[in-house]
Amino acid sequence: MQGQLKHLIDWKYWSDEDVRFVLNLARKVKHHRWEYQGHMQGNTLVMLFQKTSTRTRVSFEAGMTELGGHAINLDWRSTNFTLSKIRFETRYLCRNAALIMARLKENKDLMEMVDAATVPIINGCCNFYHPCQALADMLTIAEDREHGVSGARLTYIGVYNNVVNSLVSISAALGVKLTLVCPIKDPASVDEGALEKLADSGLLIETLDAAKAVAEADYVYTDTWLDMEYFNDPSYQAVKDERCALMLPYQINAQLMKGSQAKIMHDMPIHPGYEMAEDMVESERSIIYDQAENRLDAQKAIMLKLLQELK
Ligand code: CP
């Protein structure tokens, strides 16, 4: 290995220049897919999932296939990560993989992988961050606007969670004006000092006035009110009931969106009737499926950039 070993834990650990570079690369890859065939030839991505997934699993595997590489899917529960130390198992994976993407419950476990790794680690979503989603979100906005993402007015309405932390980091790097309407903070996702850079740049508004935040937005974004893993878990019923009661006035629905020209975003999976009314999902202003599709090219760009750093 000649170059620098770089990981993607969250965008806040990358320079603004590198974030801009990877977004531009994602746009290039999206519009010139054939040119990038073969760029991962001979390379294997190991995907390790401790949690459920549809988009992350499919888009990383499809991305590697389209780039001429290969992806191996590992369900944590069927591996010996359950028996041994993260360090030892990670060291072994690095002897086979060019890249590892891990969706782990706890950021501290992901950091243990990073400490042991000799190949780039990509965070596929932990309790603190969801950087791959945030890049796909910015790619979606970049593709939707004539003059790029800088200056776009993005309003997030929902529970403050891991998705928000990464939206905050990437907005700060790309000059997006982010308004947060978050009556609840998920205690598992609290990342001290996360808002400082965005606030210092004058790009952050925090408010509970959802109607005003929607009226002033180009994009309105929401996410699940409860970690998707626990949404149907009976032991989380009390938390779910409490959150739903508090959050229902903040649901994205026709009444809230009345008079607004904002596009509607959601990172999926969607819980219709909770954070978003079902008729909003496929309404004419929804760009939700484009956003989900953009995971593919965003992650291709991330993988290409991380391997490029090693050269
Ligand atoms: N948005 C997202 O990460 O989707 P999956 O949980 O289905 O991977």
Please write the tens of the pLDDT for every residue from 248-268. 999 999 999 999 999 999 999
Of 47, 51, 54, the residue with max ligand 1 atoms within 8 A of its CB, to mutate for a pocket test, comes to: 54
Residue 200 CA to ligand 1 center (angstroms) comes to 31
Higher pLDDT, 236 or 74: 74
Residue 43 pLDDT more than 90? Answer: yes
> What mean pLDDT is reported for the chain?
96
Of 47, 53, 132, 135, the residue with max ligand 1 atoms within 8 A of its CB, to mutate for a pocket test, comes to: 53
Angstrom distance (rounded) from CA 139 to CA 296: 11
Q: Are 46 and 101 contacting, i.e. CB atoms less than 8 angstroms apart?
A: yes
Lowest-confidence range among 47-56, 114-123, 226-235?
A: 226-235
- pLDDT of res. 117: 98
- pLDDT of res. 239: 86
Lowest-confidence range among 182-191, 236-245, 297-306?
A: 236-245
- pLDDT of res. 2: 67
- pLDDT of res. 1: 52
Lowest-confidence range among 5-14, 227-236, 291-300?
A: 227-236
Helix (H, G, I), strand (E, B) or coil at 158: coil
Residue 147 pLDDT more than 80? Answer: yes
Q: Are 120 and 6 contacting, i.e. CB atoms less than 8 angstroms apart?
A: yes
pLDDT in tens, 224-238: 998 877 788 898 899
pLDDT in tens, 19-34: 999 999 999 999 999 9
Residue among 23, 22, 57, 64 nearest 40 (CA): 64
Which residue's C-alpha comes closest to atom 4 of ligand 1?
55
Q: Are 281 and 270 contacting, i.e. CB atoms less than 8 angstroms apart?
A: yes
- pLDDT of res. 226: 86
Rounded to two decimals, the pTM is 0.97
Q: What is the mean pLDDT of residues 48-73?
A: 98
Of 267, 271, 294, the residue with max ligand 1 atoms within 8 A of its CB, to mutate for a pocket test, comes to: 267
Residue 81 CA to ligand 1 center (angstroms) comes to 22
Residue 105 pLDDT more than 70? Answer: yes
